[in-house]
Structure 1
Amino acid sequence: MRTPLMAAAFAVCALPLQALDLGKMTDEERAIFRAEVRAFLIEQPEVLVEAFNVLEQQQAANQVSADATMVQVNAQDIFDDGYSWVGGNPEGDITLVEFVDYRCGYCRKAHDEVKELVESDGNIRIIVKEFPILGEASTASSRFAIAVKQKLGDAAYEAANDALIRLRSDVNQVTLRRLASSLGFDAAEVLDHMDSDEVSREILQTRQLAQRLQISGTPTFVMQDEMLRGYLPLEAMRQLVDAKRG
């Protein structure tokens, strides 16, 4: 039951912030006020839950707004950097960008679903950005994929991307040479190019872009003006595509 003093305390809380000046209270009034607030929250903890829910909603809304601004500022590097692989429908009305790490479990989970989304829709442009963040095996995988793209072209890159995301063995010179041969590539040409400045430059540029976008995990997607941080099931992705089309 709310006491008269408690009611008075919350009436004070409802006043404009400048009207609530604890510094002008006596020590006794301040102690009573704090005790009543504490008692109220203990008796009705759902108020705290409600407050935390409101805070989370506000933070989520702020993040969406901040993400949209970052996407707008970095649009050229996100959607038309001149080096990232572009697939799907190049003239599609929806562009989906994925920052991927081949050793990331959720990237592997998302791979076939993203592929299904793009193929079944038919009007989505997909861009893949190599973003190795999980150690040496991740970096070697991305270097291999980029070397394939730079030396052998987009079709070869798509095949390498698909093979690398499914690769479960250790990533080293032996397995990559074997993988290149299995895909019909000139293994020596690809492996010799992996440590080139051109490959290093592409990885560095993508890392710098990810830093500007405050991306620290994979998969991270950009769909039109919106950043999607983390794995999303296929149906959720389809719903977002529909929403973007209005």
Structure 2
Amino acid sequence: MIDRRHFLTLAGASSALFILPRAGQAADISPQAVFNDPDAPALGNPQGDVTLVEYFDYQCPFCKSNHPVVEQVMKEDGDLRVVMKDWPIFGAPSVYASQLALGAQGLGKYEVALEALMATKGKLTNAQIDSTLAAAGVDPKEAEASYKADRKAIDGLLIRNSQQAIAIGLQGTPAYIIGRDVYPGAVDADTLRRAIKAARES
């Protein structure tokens, strides 16, 4: 595990090294940026005393298989805030899925879109993403229109998420930040519980 105090202490030095040409600015991996981005969807208890941040991709099989574990722990804890950070690294369909899910946030249907896409299997096509959302009650055209209406903010969020992931040194999805530690890869419920407990006590 990577000690959060370590990587956040290094933020001032390392962030200048991780610049995406599209964004034109250095990554911000300060605690405020990582845990409290106002554009990033948050699940669970909005006033929770511990925040879990998840970097994920809708085509990542480990993200999808581990999603019920995170949900289980979030629901049983009751005082956990979960911030979802789209990091679409598996190609164009991943970007499309993120755009529509974040667009669905503007329709009040983010969690519906998230759950539907996380329940899919394997790689996705745009047509599969559309049909999955439609079956769940999210009109893909409305979600796309919502994304386009708020495109600057959503694209900015996706850029920030990517910059942060690179600057922190994440190697792929899923990756979780809880309290002082980074947990790369899928983690079991007991590991999450212990991490939350340690963060709560620190």
Pair in the same fold by TM > 0.5: yes
CA drift at 1:175:
2.3
CA distance in 1, matches of 2:68, 2:9: 30
User: Where does residue 230 of structure 1 map in the other structure?
Assistant: 185
User: Where does residue 41 of structure 2 map in the other structure?
Assistant: 85
Per-residue CA deviation, residues 190-238 of structure 1 (Å, 9 max, x unaligned), is: 2345564443222112112222222231111111222222221111111
User: Where does residue 172 of structure 1 map in the other structure?
Assistant: 125
Per-residue CA deviation, residues 53-94 of structure 1 (Å, 9 max, x unaligned), is: xxxxxxx7xx43633535795111111111011111111111
What root-mean-square deviation, in Å, do the aligned CA atoms of Structure 1 and Structure 2 show? Answer: 2.3
Percent identity of equivalent pairs: 26
* SS class of match (1:119): helix
> Of 172, 186, 194, which residue of structure 2 is paired with 1:217?
172
Structure having greater relative contact order (Cα 8 Å, sep ≥ 6): 2
**1:135 aligned to 2:91?**
yes
CA distance in 2, matches of 1:219, 1:70: 22
TM-score for both structures, normalised by structure 2: 0.79
Give structure 1 stretches of 5+ with no counterpart.
1-59
TM-score for both structures, normalised by structure 1: 0.66
User: Where does residue 161 of structure 1 map in the other structure?
Assistant: 114
**1:122 aligned to 2:75?**
no
Q: Is the 8 A contact 2:103 2:144 kept in 1?
A: yes
Moved more, 122-131 or 224-233: 224-233
**1:185 aligned to 2:185?**
no
CA distance in 1, matches of 2:10, 2:93: 30
CA drift at 1:110:
1.3
More helix by share: 1
* SS class of match (1:132): coil
CA drift at 1:160:
0.7
The alpha-carbon distance between structure 1 residues 243 and 152, as it changes in their structure 2 partners (threshold 3 A), is same
The alpha-carbon distance between structure 1 residues 245 and 81, as it changes in their structure 2 partners (threshold 3 A), is closer
Give structure 2 stretches of 5+ with no counterpart.
13-28
The alpha-carbon distance between structure 1 residues 240 and 121, as it changes in their structure 2 partners (threshold 3 A), is same
